[in-house]
Structure 1
């Protein structure tokens, strides 16, 4: 990974556009940012090489997917550990991030040690997840799950200066 470049207004405009729609062609992206396609390609490659852009992915509509695959549920889960040393936290984090049901994992302070966002098909699937990740781990002291009844906002983007973020 290259050194992180200093980001100018053109880089920030590119990042803002790519966060809104990473499927834009190089031509369309260049036109939206008012630069030549060659400059656009070079700058985007530099942002990838420096690790500023981590990956591209499709964001699925949970209601539409649920209509096809079954309802599904999301939960925000607070997890507190008994032993809170770095080694214990690393071991727990390594285990939960390897599980496909865990969508997000944060170490937090103060309060619980971790906040997880998890997805399960139904309550039985969540119970299996809880057994797999929490009950079977002797170091997990407390788990508190909050089940989502409605998602008011989901916007996985980093605010970019100059965009009214």
Structure 2
């Protein structure tokens, strides 16, 4: 699906889903000012086109801290020794499946990758570093920054409602 096939109604539905994907179709349709069948049909089309990748629950780590502990979040810069496409692909293939890796980005300029990782504590981070970075002979440099406070976390993508006008949240 090309972006030009996304109209203002599609964008409004996407914006509403980003705010709260648990809304029932009736409420979603009412907020988007469309009929429930139209809402269902459009959302189905957006899923099939891959615009809606998946729907998940976003958990509050502070509320879970009594059960899971606060954990340790690190932003990790990785520089590889060799940067050929096959080496970059191999590193991604190596780190992406690890459940502690929440996000993985190829970046430029600077390091080759930025990872967001979450572990139980510092010993668990050390085990992760040994498993993912030390074991790989192609990793030249690892620089980790440890989070002391999460000031903002918002997975929503900014959408443009129409003609360059920024969208508004409910």
Shared topology, TM-score over 0.5? Answer: yes
User: Which residue matches 1:11?
Assistant: 10
| CA displacement, residues 19-55 of structure 1 (integer Å, 9 cap, x when unaligned) | 0100010101001111110110011101011111000
- 1:18 alignment partner, SS class: helix
Tell me whether 1:80 sits opposite 2:79 in the alignment.
Answer: yes
Runs of 4+ in 1 over 4 A off after TM superposition: none
State whether residues 4 and 52 of structure 1, in contact with CA within 8 Å, keep that contact through their aligned partners in structure 2: no
The aligned length equals 163
Q: Any unmatched runs of 5+ in structure 1?
A: none
User: Which residue matches 1:38?
Assistant: 37
State whether residues 4 and 50 of structure 1, in contact with CA within 8 Å, keep that contact through their aligned partners in structure 2: no
| Structure-2 separation of matches of 1:44 and 1:78 | 37
1:16-165 matches, within 5 Å, as 16-162=15-161, 163-164=167-168
Q: Displacement of 1:164 after TM fit?
A: 4.3
| CA displacement, residues 67-115 of structure 1 (integer Å, 9 cap, x when unaligned) | 2112201000000000110000100011100100000000000000000
State whether residues 82 and 139 of structure 1, in contact with CA within 8 Å, keep that contact through their aligned partners in structure 2: yes
Q: Any unmatched runs of 5+ in structure 2?
A: 162-166
**C-alpha distance 164-27 of structure 1, shift in aligned 2 (>3 A):** closer
- 1:132 alignment partner, SS class: helix
| Structure-2 separation of matches of 1:164 and 1:44 | 20
TM-score under structure 2 length normalisation: 0.93
State whether residues 79 and 115 of structure 1, in contact with CA within 8 Å, keep that contact through their aligned partners in structure 2: yes
- 2:160 alignment partner, SS class: coil
In angstroms, what is the RMSD of aligned CA positions?
1.1
Bigger shift: 65-74 or 80-89?
65-74
TM-score under structure 1 length normalisation: 0.96
